[in-house]
């Protein structure tokens, strides 16, 4: 294995961990959504993006379903961290997402990431 390649991970500094972080995003954010996923995003003062989840029981009654969705979203975020602008994001979903397979869930969140990149594209 090449030691120059840094493995992508989902470390604690890439997560929204405190209630005030979530409140800040919910209070003043841009909304990016489609029929399956809504992403609330707000610029942060850090040099990297952070991610939080608000996957409700209303969206997915079974914990196994909520966890599957979060696992897919986490993986796409982990792979996209380097290309995302420094924003705090909260991801929510709607019940139709349960009918999607894992690949389609990943594609749907990638679409939202593209909108976020476009909004906060830094020309420098």
Assess if CATH 3.30.230.10 describes domain 14-117: yes
Order of strands, sheet of 30-33, starting from the edge strand that comes earlier in the sequence: 30-33, 37-43, 87-93, 50-53
| Per-residue model confidence as pLDDT tens digits over 52-95 | 999 999 989 999 999 999 999 999 998 888 889 999 999 999 99
| Prediction pTM value | 0.84
**pLDDT(123) > 60:** no
Q: Pick the residue with more confidence: 22 or 10?
A: 22
Q: What is the pLDDT of residue 1?
A: 41
Q: Where are the domains of the chain?
A: 14-117
């Amino acid at each position: 294995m090449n030691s120059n390649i840094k493995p992508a991970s989902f470390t604690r500094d890439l997560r929204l961990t405190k209630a005030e972080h979530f409140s800040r995003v919910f209070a003043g954010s841009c909304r990016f959504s489609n029929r399956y996923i809504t992403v609330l995003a707000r610029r942060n003062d850090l040099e990297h993006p952070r991610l939080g989840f608000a996957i409700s029981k209303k969206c997915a009654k079974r914990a196994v379903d909520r966890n599957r969705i979060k696992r897919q979203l986490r993986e796409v975020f982990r792979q996209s961290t380097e290309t995302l602008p420094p924003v705090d994001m909260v991801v929510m979903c709607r019940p139709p997402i349960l009918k999607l397979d894992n690949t389609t869930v990943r594609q749907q969140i990638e679409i939202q990431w593209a909108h976020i990149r476009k909004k906060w594209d830094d020309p420098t």
